Amino acid sequence: RVFAFRDARWAPDPVLAPSAAVRSPQPAPLVIDNGSFQTRAGWACPDPAVPAEPLLRFRSLAARSRGARGGAGAETQVGNDLGSPEPLRWLLRSPFDRNVPVQLELQELLLDHVFQRLGVSSQGCVDHPIVLTEAVCNPLYSRQMMSELLFECYQVPKVSYGVDSLYSFYHNRRQNWPCSGLVISSGYQCTHILPVLEGRLDAKNCKRINLGGCQAAVYLQRLLQLKYPGHFAAITLSRMEEILHEHSYIAQDYIEELQKWRCPEYYENNVHKMQLPFSNKLLGSTVASEEKQEKRQQQLRRLQELNARRREEKLQLDQERLDRLLYVQELLEDGQMDQFHKALVELNMDSAEELQSYISKLSLSVEQTKQKILQSEANIEVDVVDSKPETPDLEPLGSEQSLEDVESINEFEPLFAEEQPEVEKPVAAVQPVFNLAEYHQLFLGTERIRAPEIVFQPSLIGEDQAGIAETMQYVLERYSKEQQAILVQNVFLTGGNTMYPGLKARIQKELLEMRPFQSSFQVHVASSPVLDAWYGARDWAVEYMNREEGWISRKDYEEKGGEYLKEHCASNVYVPIRLPKQAPRAAEAPSRAPGTGNPSEQA
C-alpha cells in the first residue's frame, strides 16, 4: 500500500474545429457549466456528429505574469495553459467568491478561453445561444453583471440560466421517479440542501453550508504539515486534492471508526503510504570516505594547476615589461637621449630615477614569481612520490625520562606483544541502516476520514455551522409530515464532493436516526456527480432549443434589466427588485406660487 503522487501536469487545450452541424440549419446552443472548481463547455446539438459530452474541461483559474523587464507586457494564462498550479500558487486568481462569480474581468478571461478553444468563428460577436449554470439563489447583482457581459461584450442572441444541481437532478430522472425530492449538492466551496416539490425548487427553504472540497483539502494539508514538519513544502494543495479524490472515505460512524484505527493490526492493514519524490544524492553518508578523499585530492590538484597557470601568465607579462624597461635603460647608457625621452613619455615616466625604481621592483617580482613556481612544482612532486600515510615521529627516549619509566615500559612489553595481533585485525565498520524512501513517505491513517468528515462536523475546523445531517433535518421540519415523506423518498446526492466512498451509507444512517420508526426513504447518487450538471443542461438545451420558455432574449435584457430571469424546470426563482415608492410631495406644491421655484424644476 505504497502509492506515488502522480503530480500530473495539465495539457494545454487545443483549438477545436467545430462541426458543420453546429452552424446549420441554425447556430447550436453552447452549454457552459460555470463551476468554481472546474469549467466545462460543449455543444448542445442533436446531430450524432457532434459529441454529446463537454469538449473543454479546465480549472476556473487565471494567472497574470508581470512580464520581463524591457520585454513584452504581462501575459495571462487560463485553465490548463497554466501547466501546474503549484509554482504559480501565489499568482492564481479565481472569479468566484465561494460559488458566486464576482470578478467579471476574470470571468471574461474564462469565457474568451472557451469561445476561442471551441472555434467560435463568428466575427465580432458570439451568435450561439448560451446555457449557463449559476449558484442557488444567485444574487441579482451577479446575474446582472453576467448578463451585461454576455449581451454587451459578446452580443449573444439569448441566454438561459439554471442551477447545476437541478440540471443533474433532472438528468438522472428515471421512469417512475417522483418529481419531488431532496437534493444534496456538495461542491468545491459550498454544500446545498435543496427541496424540490412537484418539479420546482422551493427557494425559501434552501440552505447552504459554507464547506466543501476546498476546505477539506486545506484541513488535510494542515494535519499533514503538523505531522511531518520536515516535508512542509512538499505537502501541497494539489497533492492533498489527489489524496481526497483517491484515498479518503466517509466513516459510517466516525467515533467507532476512530476506535478501530487505535488497533495496531487495523492500522497496519488500512494505512496508505504516500511516496514523496526524493533523490539518493541527498544522503551524504552513502559516499565512502575514500571517495571523499579522492575528490578532495582532485580538487586540490585542479587548484594547484590553476594557480600555476596564473603565475606563469603573470611571469610572462612581467618579463615582457621588464625587457622593455631594460631596453629604455640601454638607450640612456648609449647616450641616445632623444629616443630615451620619447620612450619615457610613452611609459608615462618623468625621470631616469623613476625608471630605475620600476626596474628594481619588477626584477624583484619576477624573481619571487619564479621561486613560487619552483616551490609549487616541488610540492606536487613530493605529493606524487610520497603516497605513504604520514606517521607521527616518535620521540626517542631521552635524558628527561627516568630510569623507573624505562623499567616500567620493559615490564609491560610482553603484554603489548600479546595484544598486538588482536589490535592489527581489521574491524568492519558498522553502518547505520537508513531507508531514505521510507523517510519520504506520508502515512495516512485517521487523516483519511478526518478531512471529509468536516461536512458532517464543521466544528472540527472551528466553523460555527451545522453539518449536513442537522441542516437536512432542519429543512425537513419546515414541511408537513406528508411532504416530508415525499421528500425523503428521493434523496439525491450530486456534486464532486459527494464521490467519497461511504457517503451514501452515512446519509442513510443519518436519515434512519431522524425519521420515524418503520418509515421508508431512498437515497440515490448521480451517475456522474461531476459531469451530470453539464449533461442535464445539454438535455434541456436540446429539448427547448426552438422554444421561448427559459430563454432571455436581448429584447428582454434591454427592457427588464440584466437581473431578469425566465424561470424553467431547473432554474432559480426570479424575485424582482422592489424599490420603495416615494410619497408625492402634494403638500409642498400649493405653497409655491406660479413662476417660483428652482430654474431646473421649471425647465
Give the model's pLDDT for residue 380.
60
With cut-offs at 50, 70 and 90, classify the pLDDT of residue 434.
low
Comparing 144-148, 210-214, 276-280, 520-524, which segment has the lowest mean pLDDT?
A: 276-280
What percentage of the chain exceeds 90 in pLDDT? 55
Mean pLDDT of 323-335: 84
Cα(95)–Cα(109) distance, integer angstroms: 9
Mean pLDDT, to the nearest integer, of 75-79? Answer: 87
Q: Please check whether the two domains, 2-175+531-560 and 213-278+440-525, share a CATH topology.
A: yes
User: How distant, in Å, are the alpha carbons of 44, 153, 544 from that of 551?
Assistant: 15, 18, 9
Cβ neighbours, 10 Å, residue 20 = 10
pLDDT for 382: 52
pLDDT, residue 481, reads: 94
User: Quick one: which of 537, 555, 441 has its CA closest to 161?
Assistant: 537
For residues 193-210, b (16+ Cβ closer than 10 Å) or e, as one string? bbbbbeebbbeeebbbbe
Alpha-carbon distances, residue 244 vs 137, 147, 570 (angstroms): 28, 36, 30
Q: How far apart are CA 349 and CA 328, in angstroms?
A: 11
CA pair distance 525, 184, nearest whole angstrom: 10
Query: Can you give the pLDDT at residue 423?
Result: 43
Give the H or E element holding residue 552.
strand 552-553
Residues 147-186 pLDDT 10s: 999 999 999 999 999 999 999 999 998 766 678 999 999 9
Per-residue model confidence (pLDDT) at position 178: 73
Instruction: Give pLDDT, residue 603.
Output: 37
Q: Which of 277-281, 523-527, 549-553 shows the lowest per-residue confidence on average (mean pLDDT)?
A: 277-281
Nearest to 564 by CA among 253, 120, 147: 147
What is the pLDDT, as a whole number, of residue 445?
A: 95
Mean of per-residue pLDDT scores for the chain: 84
207 close to 469: Cβ distance less than 8 angstroms? no
Q: CA-to-CA distance for 100 and 497, rounded, in angstroms? A: 18
Q: What percent of the chain stands above pLDDT 70?
A: 83
Task: Give the C-alpha separation, 51 to 68, whole Å.
Answer: 41
pLDDT score for 433: 59
Determine the pLDDT at residue 400.
43
Question: Where does 213-278+440-525 sit in CATH, by number?
Answer: 3.30.420.570
pLDDT in tens, 377-433: 776 655 544 444 444 444 443 444 444 444 444 444 444 444 444 444 444 444 445
Residue 601 has pLDDT above 70, yes or no: no
Question: What tens digit of pLDDT does each residue of 83-118 get?
Answer: 888 888 888 999 999 899 999 999 999 999 999 999
pLDDT at position 421: 44
Q: Which residue type occupies 115?
A: F
549-598: per-residue pLDDT in tens? 999 999 999 999 999 999 999 999 998 877 676 666 654 444 454 444 44
Instruction: With CA atoms as reference, report the closest residue to 84 among 275, 238, 221, 244.
Output: 238
Q: How confident is the model at residue 310 (pLDDT cuts 50, 70, 90)?
A: confident
pLDDT at 146 over 90: yes
The CA distance from 290 to 277, in Å, is: 29
CA dist 105 to 89, 112, 135, Å? 19, 11, 19
What's the grid cell of residue 128? 450561439
pLDDT band at 122 (very low <50, low <70, confident <90, very high): confident
Are β-strands 62-64 and 92-93 bridged in parallel, bridged antiparallel, or unpaired? antiparallel
Domain coordinates of the chain in residue numbers?
Answer: 2-175+531-560, 213-278+440-525, 295-378
Q: Which residue has the cell 623613476?
A: 354
What's the pLDDT at 308? Answer: 83
Predicted local distance difference test score (pLDDT) of residue 414: 44
Measured over the CA atoms of residue 252, residue 253, residue 254 and residue 256, the dihedral's sign is negative
pLDDT of residue 66: 66
**The cell 463551476 sits on which residue?**
35
Nearest 5°: CA angle at 347, between 341 and 349? 65
| Residue 195, CB-side half-sphere exposure with 13 Å CA sphere | 22
How many distinct helices (H) and strands (E) make up the chain?
A: 19, 20
pLDDT score for 403:
44
C-alpha cell at 238: 494539489
Q: What is the pLDDT of residue 64?
A: 81
Q: How high is the pLDDT of residue 349? A: 83
Statement: 2-175+531-560 belongs to CATH 3.30.420.40: yes
What is the pTM for the complete model shown? 0.72
pLDDT tens per residue across span 443-501: 999 999 999 999 999 999 999 999 999 999 999 999 999 999 999 999 999 999 999 99
Higher-pLDDT residue of 399 and 203 is: 203
First to last CA, the chain: 84
